Amino acid sequence: MEKYILLDHGSGGLASQNLIGSLFLKYLKDPVLQQLEDAAVLPAEQGQLAFSTDSYVVDPIFFPGGNIGELAVNGTINDLAMRGARPICLSLGLILEEGFAVAELEQIIKSIAAACDYAGVPVVTGDTKVVPKGKADKIFINTSGVGIIEGGIDVTARKAQSGDVILLSGTLADHGITILTSREGLQVGGNLQSDTRPLHFLARSLVKDFPGEIHTMRDPTRGGLGTTLSEIAKTTGLCMEIEEKAIPMQPEVRAACELMGLDPLYLANEGKCMVLAAPEHAEKILQTMCSTPEGRDSAIIGRVSAKHSGRVVLTTVSGGTRLVEPLSGEPLPRIC
């Protein structure tokens, strides 16, 4: 195998077949993928289909806590999970820059395979393109995913109701601040790392144990919790009231945000979900979330009301209130 990616690896011919055979199929072992047909064929399933896509252009491609590969696997699994779906398979579309180190590609593919194994969701179909040096930046990854939604599960922003509690499955802004500090080469102390992880185990426990009570789930990625809540507020016309002091945050993330002058409400999370649920069993829902490894720092962070229609209102640590608008005008590019 060559040390660097050549244009020929994207030709569809012999070099492409070698790359697929000697690298991709070495780690990605799903039997459907190994057939290398134009499309994967999977058994019939009972239930509605969930379908989602995301492209990943994160910079740097390796960062504390993960790399672009596992981010791509977990991110798309999470989009399916947020609808209450059982993810069944992923596609993997790679765009590589000529000259990209094959050793780095191999490390990314290994991470993809490990993330798929952990999640129990295989890559069943893929595609690789190569563009000339300078026409892309190392590697961009698209993953799309298919999931199955079993009868009765209906989790959507449109089901949010006044009176719902707002839960968050853990600490805020870990991914966003990790990427920003590691891109800028900032040393901020502590153990900053991305929270990239799959949320479908947690999400499916919730929809199974509390059918009908889990109204809305969202993973606040790009744009952060502030933007995600704003979208739900806008969609539903309801008011999202959150309490700053109730939002879990790691001290090093808080310190880095203060240092860099960034609002953690707008920073990306890659392994956290926000849940809007009926209030009756809020404590039990919280316990269920806290009993999972990915949700052990879960907290109730607020409540849905009709107070300010279509708005997000934050009660600050000092007891004041402020409106939280969707992210605007402060681009944080290539965060995922």
Stretch 259-288 residues interacting with a second copy (CB under 8 A): 266, 268
Q: How many CB atoms lie within 10 A of CB 173?
A: 28
Report the residue number, 41 or 320, with the smaller CB distance to a second copy: 41
Report the residue number, 240 or 252, with the smaller CB distance to a second copy: 240
Any alpha helices (H) in 237-304, and if so which ranges? 251-260, 282-290
Report the residue number, 252 or 276, with the smaller CB distance to a second copy: 276
Report the residue number, 42 or 101, with the smaller CB distance to a second copy: 42
Phi and psi for 245 in degrees, rounded to 5?
A: -75, -15
225-244 positions binding a second copy, by CB under 8 A: 227, 231
* Dihedral sign, Cα of residue 268, residue 172, residue 165, residue 230: negative
Q: Kindly state the smallest distance separating residue 183's Cβ from a second copy, in Å.
A: 12
Residue whose C-alpha is closest to residue 330's, from 222, 195, 231: 222
Query: How far, in Å, CA of 14 to CA of 283, rounded?
Result: 58
Look at the block and give the residue holding tokens 């991709």: 24
Exactly one of 34, 60, 104, 156 binds a second copy (CB under 8 A); which one? 156
Rule CB under 8 A: is residue 135 a binding residue for a second copy? Answer: yes
Q: Kindly state the smallest distance separating residue 111's Cβ from a second copy, in Å.
A: 19
* Dihedral sign, Cα of residue 312, residue 52, residue 87, residue 65: negative
Residue whose C-alpha is closest to residue 119's, from 203, 201, 53, 196: 201
Complete DSSP assignment for 261-274: T--GGGS--SS--E
Exactly one of 67, 74, 125, 236 binds a second copy (CB under 8 A); which one? 125
Site string for a second copy, 36-75 (x = CB under 8 A): xxxxxxxxxxxxxxxxxxxxxx------------------
Site string for a second copy, 73-92 (x = CB under 8 A): -----xxx-xx-x---x-xx
Look at the block and give the residue holding tokens 């990427």: 179
Only one of the segments 61-69, 143-151, 207-215, 302-310 lies at the binding site for a second copy (rule: CB under 8 A); that segment is: 143-151
# residues contacting a second copy (CB under 8 A): 88
Peptide bond into 31 cis (omega under 30): no
Rule CB under 8 A: is residue 219 a binding residue for a second copy? Answer: yes
Helix pair 200-209, 68-81: axis angle to 10 deg: 10
Query: How far, in Å, CA of 45 to CA of 237, rounded?
Result: 36
Q: Which two tokens stand for residue 140?
A: 């961009």
Report the residue number, 100 or 252, with the smaller CB distance to a second copy: 100
Exactly one of 71, 105, 146, 225 binds a second copy (CB under 8 A); which one? 146
Query: How far, in Å, CA of 80 to CA of 148, rounded?
Result: 9
Phi and psi for 228 in degrees, rounded to 5?
A: -60, -45
Exactly one of 222, 272, 303, 311 binds a second copy (CB under 8 A); which one? 222
Report the residue number, 33 or 252, with the smaller CB distance to a second copy: 33
Rule CB under 8 A: is residue 105 a binding residue for a second copy? Answer: no
307-336 positions binding a second copy, by CB under 8 A: 325-334
β partners of residue 171: none
Only one of the segments 154-162, 190-198, 246-254, 313-321 lies at the binding site for a second copy (rule: CB under 8 A); that segment is: 154-162
Q: Which two tokens stand for residue 249?
A: 């945050």
Report the residue number, 6 or 255, with the smaller CB distance to a second copy: 6
Rule CB under 8 A: is residue 200 a binding residue for a second copy? Answer: no
Q: Which two tokens stand for residue 274?
A: 């926000």
10-29 positions binding a second copy, by CB under 8 A: 10-17
Rule CB under 8 A: is residue 175 a binding residue for a second copy? Answer: no
Q: Kindly state the smallest distance separating residue 190's Cβ from a second copy, in Å.
A: 26
